[in-house]
Amino acid sequence: MNWSYLFFSFEGRISRQPYWLAFCVLVPATLGAAMLASQVNGGRLTAIAELALLYPELAVIVKRANDREMPSWIVFCYFILSVMMNGLAVLGIGLEGAAGEPGALFWLIMLPLMAVGLFILVDLGFRPGVSGPNRYGPDPLQGHT
């Protein structure tokens, strides 16, 4: 397994196995960074940690989406919503409502983010890729990586 290719390259295709391996690395890394950051400085540092891990997450998603020939606008929506949510948290703008509870802007961004994220997780994680080569490269299950 070429870990730098998996987490830092946007080229080519990956099958479900490397996708899930990356998922099993990125989720604990994100949760660990968020827990550590929240102990130190609360929401802003947590958002910065999540933004830092967004690049490898996006690299994995793009390669898997290439294998599925998923429209790029779906991945773009997920990325933009993630950046908006974390960017607003870093800037401390409008995510909290009364008494520190999540406000309307939080839910306006979070609900579509969760819906797109769930769609991406199910589609990329459980459905097989396109058989044979496609415009993004050879089929990763035919022995090419």
Q: Per-residue DSSP letters for 83-132?
A: HHHHHHHHHT-S-B-GGG-B-HHHHHHHHHHHHHHHHHHHHHHHS---SS
Residue 137 lies in a domain: no
**3-state DSSP call for residue 62?**
helix
Query: Is residue 142 a part of any domain in this protein?
Result: no
Residue with tokens 């990325």: 79
| 143 is a domain residue | no
Per the domain annotation, does 7 fall within a domain?
Answer: no
DSSP 31: H
Q: How far is CA 136 from CA 44, 67, 120, in A?
A: 37, 7, 18
65 lies in some domain: yes
Total domain count for the chain?
1
What is the mean pLDDT of each successive set of 10 residues along the chain, which is 145 residues long?
95 97 95 84 79 94 98 97 90 76 88 97 97 95 69
Query: Helices 43-68 and 16-41 meet at what angle, rounded to 10?
Result: 170
Residue 141's pLDDT is what? 93
* pLDDT tens digits, one per residue of 88-127: 888 878 777 777 788 888 899 999 999 999 999 999 999 9
The predicted pLDDT at position 48 comes to 85
